[in-house]
Structure 1
Amino acid sequence: MDVGIINPFLEATLEVTRTMANMESRVGKPALKKGNQANGEVTGFIALSGPAHKGTLAITFEKEALLAVYERMLGEKLSELDDSALDLAGEITNMVCGGAKQRLSSSGYDFDLTRPTILTGKPHEINHPGNGPVLTLPLELDQGKMYIEVNLSR
């Protein structure tokens, strides 16, 4: 998997959490994902397609992380995940993809993005349809974790 394509997704995620939620994230060790099981309760999922690559991006939130991001971004405290928290997960996924697309475009990559799909439940599965490996990057917030998953193939 091309690091030049993966890093813009990581950079965009860090930027969104820093600027929109005023939260710093610590990046964990990247790993190849085995299986389809999500690591959290809510996932924003987007398909990517371009002339040279096709793939998917998923951002999975542990409940505590999404509730903390929600409170920081919207100023309202939730005790449970509701439709507004799910909408925020989709919006964050959309912002990350937009930021990554802008970064990739300046490097000569061109992608079209679908609208985010939200997957919920503990457990739930994330089915990346591509035949390439799925790279998982954990991000640790003070209040829980987020996981970026990227699957790209030529």
Structure 2
Amino acid sequence: MDINHINPVLDAFLNVMPQLGLGEVKKKDVTLRGRFIESPGVVVIIGLLGDIKGNIIYGMKEEDAKKIASAMMMGMNVENFDELAQSAISELVNMLTANASTNFSKDNITVDISTPTLIYGKFTANSSSDKVICISMEVNGAIIEVNISLEKNTI
């Protein structure tokens, strides 16, 4: 895992969140994890392939996901983590990762992203490599765990 693969992802939070009315973005903790990621309630997995390969696993508590979905839907009250709220969170991850992909291109790193997969409940996700850097991002009081598992593509 190259530490230079972290900043494009973090910069995406600073670029995208304010556009959605979520302007309070802070990096909290950085930890090293193994391959298995315990779900905090809601997990969205998205793959990257190109000059680098791997995945980013975004995780958050269901209450935080509802809070973020509500902000994305112009303050509409989100009581249940239903199809509409799930779609909003999936689209958020898509926007963040697409922006990160654009940031990578500024460093002459070409990547394509997969369609995000959202899962919620109690389970363990399996990242694409044994070394995962987890960055906790606070967004308007909600915590999003960003588990980054990327490596140089040798093919």
What's the TM-score, normalizing by structure 2? 0.88
Q: CA RMSD in A?
A: 1.7
Matches within 5 A, 1:69-108: 69-75=68-74, 76-108=76-108
The equivalent of 2:16 in structure 1 is 16
Q: Between Structure 1 and Structure 2, how many residues are aligned? A: 151
SS in structure 1 of the partner of residue 125 of structure 2: coil
Matches within 5 A, 1:3-152: 3-34=3-34, 36-51=36-51, 53-75=52-74, 76-121=76-121, 123-130=122-129, 132-152=130-150
**Which AA in structure 1 matches 2:53?**
K
Per-residue deviation at 1:137? Answer: 0.3
What's the TM-score, normalizing by structure 1? 0.88
Q: Report the identity percentage.
A: 23
Q: Deviations over 1:36-77 (max 9, x none)?
A: 2435211111111113x2110111122222111112111311
Q: Deviations over 1:50-105 (max 9, x none)?
A: 13x21101111222221111121113111221111111111011101110011100
Consecutive unaligned residues of structure 1, counting only runs of 5 or more, are: none
Per-residue deviation at 1:9? Answer: 0.6
CA 97–81 in structure 1, closer or farther in 2 if over 3 Å, else same? same
Equivalent residue in structure 2 for 1:153, among 139, 151, 154? 151
Consecutive unaligned residues of structure 2, counting only runs of 5 or more, are: none
